[in-house]
Structure 1
Amino acid sequence: MTRKLFILPFILIILLSLGFVLPNNLPSINIKGSIVSENEARFSVELDRMGFLIMDGETIDITGGEKDIKVKKEGSSFKTHVYCGDRFGIGSSITVELKDIKKPEKYMIPGKDLSTSFKFDTDSMRLKVYINLYREVVVPMILVVENGDKEKRIPVEKNMKIAEKLKEGENEIYITTLLKPLNIEVSKTEIIIDIERLGALRLKIGERDIWKGGEKTTMDTSPFIISGRTFVPIRFVSESLGGTVLWDGKERKVTIILNGKRIEMWIGKNYAYVNGNSVPIDPDNQDITPFIKDDRTFVPLRFVSESLGMKVIWIGNFQEIFIFNPS
């Protein structure tokens, strides 16, 4: 009977392949994937519009087009996290987690007993999953897909195609295999997908235009590089991120408040106070200090952004900077 139930093992694999559909007005991203082993899935990712991509904390170079990434199994679940954004300051934060609730007795070997692949893009909002078995189904079974208040019942066949759509926010999907005719539950897996919109501030060296969330504004000056460090007009950038900037003309001090953090910096001084603690602005170059140019206060971008809990991505080929709040 165990051999006859060979179809059961691919339930988890189906879940690994069940991707997600992003909401409208997010980065135009194309993703393909396939299962290469019981413990690993391989995905190829391509952004149609240049920008940035971070996968599980690793910044991926997307200037060469399509890039491969891997997701490994940890314990009984697969979990991955992606940040992505384009040149219009449109981004997304996505978390995907797959959990085994009830496992079948054995797993089949991808590439030997079956092949599973999927593809989707955020323009069409369509996900297509393909499962091809190398043998005919012996025991009648039903695949039940529960997505919110919607339910699908699909007879298990040698060649299967599954299509799903998700909503913005958290989604919980349950995949259950039932043995006919008594509807005996033989496996069950949960997939949790959380999709959040991400406003990514995008700047470019030498340009006054700044993008966030698909909207463009124009600064009265532009970022530039000194001694390998990017300097920006702090008031415009900080307020674009939702922060508050205070200026003390007597002390020549600028104070930035954002995300419950407070940075105090002085013109011409190479240290700052972050939440009351003194820290060097640039341990590798003590000449890096805030300064005034054209009646605007300029500060080193990376120090300020990271001290405020922001993530900074530098795209050297295009001299572009992306800033976003990872929390």
Structure 2
Amino acid sequence: MFSYRHAFHAGNHADVLKHITLMATLRHLMLKETGIHLIDTHAGAGLYRLDGDYAEKGGEAQDGIVKLMAAMRPTEGQPAESTPAIDDYLDLVADFNPSGSLRVYPGSPFVMHRLMREASRDRLKLFELHPTDGKTLSGNVAQLEAGRSITVAREDGFEGLRPMLPPPPGAGGSRRALVLIDPSYEIKSDYHRVSACIQESIKRFPTGCYLVWYPVIPRPEAHDLPRRLRTLSQQAQRPWLHATLAIGQRPDMEINERPGLTASGMFVINPPHTLKATLQASLPLLLKVLGRGRGQAQSVESGG
């Protein structure tokens, strides 16, 4: 149950898709002054060393943030074509690496913290059940000295989310929340738990913004999840957006070698009206830089 560690995958292509989508969503939501309750159900350790044993063993950042940063922010030559959303993401990652050497990658908790506004009284709630990552997350968050604006709970995020919805009213009585749900999907039941969690959350707080990350892998549960989320959105009469990014298989992969994760998706319920155009502009450029072989693809669709 506790074998998954995101440190092996930090900064990979899936993180690139997830964090660009998350940042673009948050940037739009924060145009409104009222505070937002931000909730990360599977927060991980929060910060990751790209030069550490875990990241170097997997090497997945090389086909993600490392390749993207090299193309968009080269030390020599002309940078690749970019978009404001990609630039915003790369600027944030660069802020965590002031020396110019890419050594640290911020996970979703630190991405959200960087975008929080003190004047609007935004709040961030982080859940992490893994005992080691939970302890590391608490230590990383403590260094921020953010006081009560960030809280960490070492518990199941699926269960912890329930009493937080609907969120308490902010100034002026408005209720706003963004929920990020990105379990490891290491066990099959995670797929069912995600859809059940979304179904209950929409019922408890229909206007919340819900972001679900999932792996695109040859497993029935993985293929069924976005279809199930689309059905739940339509039944609740809520708008939705579904984006996928597949970088393809490595050309030099051996016949019997396992390809690893080559694609992932983001499903957003109640997305900002600007998100579709943002991702339609950014995903083709991401694929141009990160694509590496057979099976490359990207898509953005929406409804509601």
Normalised-by-shorter TM-score class: under 0.3
Question: Which structure's residues are more often strand, by fraction?
Answer: 1
Question: Which structure carries more relative contact order (alpha carbon 8 Å, separation 6+)?
Answer: 2
> Which protein has the bigger helix share?
2
After TM superposition, the score normalised by the length of structure 2 is 0.24
